[in-house]
Structure 1
Amino acid sequence: MLKRFLAVGCLVGLAACSDTQAPDIGARTSTSAALKQFNSCDALAKALRANLKEEARTTLLQFLDDRYSGLYGRAEDTAGFETPSSASADNAARTPEEGVDYSGTNNQEAGVDEADFVKTDGTHMYVLNSQSLYVIAVPSFGQLQESSNIAIEGYPTAMLIKDDIVIVLSTVYPTSLTDEGLRAKLTGPTESSFRTQNLTKMTFVNVSDRANPAATREIYIEGYYQTARRIDASARIVSYGYIDTSDVYFYPKLPDTDSYSGSDAYRDAVKNAVPATIAYNERVIADKPLRDFVPNIYERVGGIIREHDYDDDDCSTFAIADDSYSRGLTSIVSFDLNGTGFEADHIVTNEGQVYASKDTLIIAEPAYQSWWYYANATAYDDSTNIHRFDIATPGITTYTGSGRVAGAVNSPFNLSEQNGVVRVASTSNQWGRWWEESPPPVSSNVFTLSGESSLEVQGNITGSSEGEQLWATRFVDDKAYLITFRFSDPLFVVDLGDVARPKMLGELKVPGVSTYVHPVDPAHLLSIGLGGTENAVDWGTTQISLFNVADSASPLLSATLALNTAGSWAWSEALYEHKAFQYWAPKALLAVPIGSYYYSGNYHYVSTLDLVAVGSDSLDRRITIDHSAFFDDASDWYSDPSIRRSIFMGEFIIAVSDRAVTASRLSDGATTATIRLPGTKFYYGTRAPGYAD
Structure 2
Amino acid sequence: MKLRKPVIWFGIAMIMVMVVTGVVMFMEKVNVFATGTALSDNGWKAHFSEPLAKEAITNGYVYVTDRDGEKVGAELVLTDKGRTLQVEGLQPGNYTLRMEQKAVNSQFKSLKKKKVDFIVYDSIESISSAADLKLYFERAKDMQSVSVSEDMAGSSEKATMESAKAESSDAVGGGDHSSTNIQVEGVDESDMVKTDGDYVYSVFGGTSVKVIDIRNPKKMKVAAEIKPNDDYYPTQLFLHDDLLIVLGDKMVRYPKRSASQAEIMPMNSLTTIRLYNIEKPEKPVLIREIGVEGYLKSARKTDGMLYLVTNVHPYLWAMEEIEGDALRPRIFDSNEKEKEFMDFKDISILPGAIDPSYSVIAAIDLTSPKTSQLETKGFLGSSDQMYMTKDHLYLTALKYETSTNSRGAEIMIWNPGRADTEIFKFKLDGTNVEFHRSAELGGTILNQFSMDEYKGNFRVVMTEGNMWDERNPSKNHLYILNENMELTGSVKGLAKGERIYSARFMGDKAYMVTFRETDPLFVIDVADPVNPTVLGELKIPGFSNYLHPLDENHLIGFGYETSAQKNPSGGEPLILTKGMKISLFDVTDFHNPEEKFTEIIGGRGTYSPLQYDHKALLQHKKKNLFGFPVSIYEEGEKEFEVDFTGAGALVYEITPDRGIVLKGDLVQKKASGQQYEEWETQVQRLVYSGESLFTLSMDEVKSYSLDSFKEISTLKMK
TM above 0.5, yes or no, is: yes
1:395 equivalent in structure 2: 431
Does 1:333 find its partner at 2:354?
Answer: no
| Contact 2:332/2:340 (<8 A) preserved | yes
Tell me the equivalent position of 1:348. Answer: 380
Residue 662 (structure 2) aligns with: 621
Q: Which moved more, 1:351-360 or 1:135-144?
A: 135-144
Q: Structure 2: how far apart are the matches of 1:292 and 1:431?
A: 43
| 1:518 corresponds to 2:548 | yes
Note closer, same or farther for the CA distance 1:165–1:325 as it changes in structure 2 (3 Å cut): same
Q: 1:591 aligns with which of 624, 627, 632?
A: 627
Are the aligned partners of 2:40 and 2:120 in contact in 1 as well (CA < 8 Å)? no
- For the 8 Å contact 2:631–2:677, the answer to whether it is kept is no
Q: Give the AA of the match of 2:542.
A: G
**Correspondent of 2:498 among 457, 468, 479:** 468
- The one-letter code sitting in structure 2 at the alignment partner of 1:383 is D
Kept after mapping to 2: 8 A contact 1:321/1:348: yes
| 1:362-411 deviations in Å (ceiling 9; x for gaps) | 101112169899798899942111111122x3222222211121111120
Residue type of the alignment partner of 2:136: L
Aligned partner of 1:237 among 291, 308, 318: 308
Deviation at 1:200, TM superposition (A): 1.4
- TM-score between both structures, scaled by the size of structure 2: 0.72
Distance 1:671 1:551 in 2: 42
Q: Tell me what 2:606 maps to.
A: 570
With 330-339 and 142-151 compared, the bigger mean Cα shift is at 142-151
Cα contact 2:94–2:117 (8 A) shared by 1: no
Matched, 1:128 2:165: no
1:113 to 181, 188, 199: 188
- Matching residue's letter, 2:140: L
Gaps of 5+ in 2: 1-38, 42-90, 98-108, 154-171, 406-410, 565-572, 637-642
Matched AA of 2:661: D
Q: Once the 2 structures are TM-superposed, how far is the Cα of residue 525 of structure 1 from its aligned partner?
A: 0.5
Please report how far the alpha carbon of residue 623 of structure 1 lies from its aligned counterpart in structure 2 after TM superposition. Answer: 1.7
Amino acid at match of 2:133: A
Aligned partners of 1:11 and 1:54 also within 8 Å: no
CA distance in 2, matches of 1:204, 1:445: 42
Which residue of 2 is the match for residue 156 of structure 1? 234
1:297–1:308 CA contact under 8 A, matched in 2: yes
Q: What CA distance in whole angstroms lies between the structure 2 residues aligned with 1:209 and 1:186?
A: 45
- The answer (yes or no) to whether the contact 1:506–1:555 under 8 Å persists in 2 is yes
C-alpha change, 1:675 and 1:243, in structure 2 (3 Å) is same
Structure 1's unaligned 5+ residue stretches are 13-20, 70-96, 175-181, 249-283, 679-693
Query: 2:254–2:266: 8 Å Cα contact kept in structure 1?
Result: no
Query: Residues 325, 612 of structure 1: CA spacing in aligned structure 2 closer, same or farther, 3 A cutoff?
Result: same
User: How far apart, in 2, do the equivalents of 1:8 and 1:172 lie?
Assistant: 42
Q: 1:449/1:31 Cα in 2 relative to 1: closer, same or farther (>3 Å)?
A: farther
Q: Please say if residues 605 and 632 of structure 2, whose CA atoms lie closer than 8 Å, have aligned partners that are also in contact.
A: yes
Output one character per residue of 1:531-585: Cα deviation in whole Å (capped at 9) or x when no partner. 1135654434111111011111111101111122xx7741111000111122322
Tell me, in whole angstroms, the C-alpha distance in 2 between the residues paired with 1:197 and 1:375: 24
Say yes or no: does 1:404 pair with 2:440.
yes
Cα 1:516/1:537, change in 2 over 3 Å:
farther
Q: Secondary structure at the match of 1:200?
A: strand
Q: What pairs up with 1:450-465 in 2 under 5 angstroms?
A: 450-451=482-483, 454-465=484-495
Superposed displacement of residue 118, structure 1: 0.2
From the superposition, tell whether residues 8 and 327 of structure 1 become closer, same or farther in structure 2 (CA, over 3 Å): farther
**Contact residue 198 and residue 223 of structure 1 kept, 8 A:** yes
1:37 corresponds in structure 2 to 125
Whether the aligned pair in 1 keeps the contact of 2:222 and 2:717 (CA below 8 Å) is no
**Pairwise CA distance, 1:658:** 1.7
What residue number does 1:100 align with?
175
1:222 to 286, 293, 317: 293
Q: Which amino acid letter does the alignment assign opposite residue 559 of structure 1?
A: F
Could you say which residue in structure 2 is the equivalent of 1:671? 711
Q: 1:543, 1:563 within 8 Å by CA — same for their partners in 2?
A: yes
What is the CA–CA distance in structure 1 between the aligned matches of 2:533 and 2:147, rounded to whole Å? 46
TM-aligned CA deviation for residue 148 of structure 1: 0.9
Q: CA deviation at 1:351?
A: 3.2
Higher mean displacement: 496-505 or 42-51? 42-51
SS in 2 for 1:198: strand
Matches within 5 A, 1:55-94: 55-56=143-144, 58-59=145-146
What is the CA-CA distance between 1:526 and the residue it aligns to?
0.6
C-alpha contact 1:188 1:244 (8 A) present in aligned 2? no
Cα 1:138–1:376 shift into 2, 3 Å: closer
Q: 1:482 — aligned with what?
A: 512
1:259-299 Cα shifts (integer Å, max 9, x gaps): xxxxxxxxxxxxxxxxxxxxxxxxx6xx5222453321123
Compared with structure 1, are the counterparts of its residues 34 and 575 closer, same or farther at alpha carbon in structure 2 (3 Å cutoff)? Answer: farther
Once residues 620 and 425 of structure 2 are traced to their aligned partners in structure 1, the CA distance between those partners, rounded to angstroms, is 32
Amino acid corresponding to residue 251 of structure 2 in structure 1 = Y
Q: Tell me the alpha carbon deviations over residues 31-71 of structure 1, each in whole angstroms, 9 at most, x when there is no partner.
A: 98986031513464155235424413x53998xx8x899xx
**Aligned partners of 1:369, 1:188: CA distance in 2, in Å?**
38
TM-score, normalisation: structure 1: 0.75
In angstroms, what is the RMSD of aligned CA positions? 3.9
Give the equivalent residue in structure 1 for 2:328: 294
**Residues 344, 495 of structure 1: alpha-carbon distance in 2 compared, 3 angstrom cutoff:** same
Distance in structure 1 (CA, Å) of the matches to 2:575 and 2:123: 42
Deviation of residue 167 (structure 1)? Answer: 1.5
**1:144 equivalent among 220, 226, 229:** 220
- 1:652 corresponds in structure 2 to 692
Q: 2:589 aligns with which of 551, 572, 584?
A: 551
Q: 1:323 offset after TM fit, Å?
A: 2.4
For these two proteins, the number of residue pairs brought into alignment is 577
1:532 to 553, 562, 582: 562
Q: Distance in 2 between matches of 1:547 and 1:61?
A: 40
Verify the 8 A CA contact 1:546 1:559 in the aligned structure 2.
yes
Cα distance in structure 1, aligned partners of 2:679 and 2:458: 38
Check 1:626–1:379 CA distance in 2 against 1; reply closer, same or farther (3 A cut).
closer
Instruction: Tell me, in whole angstroms, the C-alpha distance in 2 between the residues paired with 1:50 and 1:8.
Output: 21
SS at match of 2:345: coil
Distance 1:307 1:635, change over 3 A: farther
Residue in structure 2 matched with residue 270 of structure 1 by the alignment: none
Alpha carbons of 1:527 and 1:288: their partners in 2 closer, same or farther (altered >3 Å)? same
2:216 and 2:654 mapped to 1: Cα distance? 27
- Deviation, structure 1 residue 143: 6.2
1:501 alignment counterpart: 531
Does structure 1 conserve the Cα–Cα contact (< 8 Å) formed by 2:40 and 2:121? no
Superposition pairs of residues 365-444 of structure 1, within 5 angstroms: 365-368=397-400, 381-391=418-428, 393-430=429-466, 439-444=471-476
* Identical positions, percent: 24
Would the aligned equivalents of 1:32 and 1:322 in 2 still touch at CA under 8 Å? no
The amino acid across from 2:146 in the alignment is T
C-alpha change, 1:540 and 1:325, in structure 2 (3 Å) is same
* One-letter amino acid of the counterpart of residue 622, structure 1: K
The amino acid of 1:113's aligned partner reads D
Confirm or deny: 8 A CA contact 1:236 1:333 kept in the other structure: yes
3-state SS of the aligned residue for 1:397?
strand
Residue 393 of structure 2 is aligned to residue 361 of structure 1:
yes
Letter in 1 for 2:665: T
Tell me how far apart the structure 2 counterparts of residues 165 and 128 of structure 1 sit (CA, whole Å). Answer: 16
Which of the pair is proportionally richer in strand?
2
Q: Aligned equivalents of 2:260 and 2:450: distance in 1?
A: 39
Mapped partners of 1:586, 1:296: distance in 2:
47
CA deviation string 1:296-316 (max 9, x = no partner):
1123459xx544314xx4x23
- Is the alpha carbon distance of 1:33 and 1:425 closer, same or farther for their aligned partners in structure 2, counting shifts above 3 Å? farther
Structure 2: how far apart are the matches of 1:371 and 1:582? 48
Which residue of structure 2 lines up, in the alignment, with residue 607 of structure 1? 647
Distance in 1 separating the partners of 2:669 and 2:203: 20
1:490-514 deviation line (CA, Å, top 9, x unaligned)? 1011111001111111110110111
In 1, Cα distance between equivalents of 2:40 and 2:216: 53
